[in-house]
Amino acid sequence: MDAGYGLAVRWSLREAPDGVADDLREYVVGTSIARFMFLDGLAFKLWRMVEGEWFEGTYVFDTPLARDEFQAQFEQTAAHAPGTKIIGSPPVAVEPYEVVAIAEGPGAFRRGPGPGRA
């Protein structure tokens, strides 16, 4: 059995406006989580960020078809994606990848926002 079919979408934050990290957190927690919770074929989505460096959506799909269809649709609309609008520039990378394995530790997955600023 395959672990999954990944897709990483990354934006640069190097030239993004001040406050963009907080705007991205607000968007993800307030809107984006709900948008992806019921996306057919999606096993999970993870949002990652290094302030001032990059912001990334990392997706894992159940099948290569689900991943490829999502990628094709996203690439057609990337210039108008919410992340692009908030950041002010399109993604710098859209990369499909193989998920070799997934290990879930004793802490288990939890849904919802991360810690914000450390």
- Per DSSP, the residues of 36-101 read HTT-TTEEEEEEEEETTTEEEEEEEESSHHHHHHHHHHHHHHGGGSHHHHHHTS--SEEEEEEE--
In a domain, 55, yes or no: yes
Residue 109 lies inside a defined structural domain of this protein:
no
Across 36-52, b (16+ Cβ under 10 Å) vs e yields eeeeeebbebebebeee
Tokens of 74: 């996203």
State the CB neighbour count (10 A cutoff) for residue 4: 22
Going by the DSSP 8-state scheme, the letter that residue 112 receives in this structure is: S
pLDDT at 104: 80
Overall domain count for the chain: 1
**Which domain range does residue 32 map to?**
4-99
Q: pLDDT at position 102, please?
A: 85
| Within a domain: 10 | yes
- Inside any domain, residue 37: yes
- Report the CATH number that the domain containing residue 46 is assigned in CATH: 3.30.70.100
Q: Is residue 116 part of a domain?
A: no
The predicted pLDDT at position 108 comes to 67
User: How far from 50 is each of 25, 26, 108, 111, CA to CA, in Å?
Assistant: 12, 16, 23, 20
Q: H/E element holding 11?
A: strand 4-12
pLDDT in tens, the chain (118 residues): 578 999 999 999 999 999 999 999 999 999 999 999 999 999 999 999 999 999 999 999 999 999 999 999 999 999 999 999 999 999 999 999 999 998 888 886 666 777 775 4
> Structure pTM?
0.89
Determine the pLDDT at residue 118.
Answer: 47
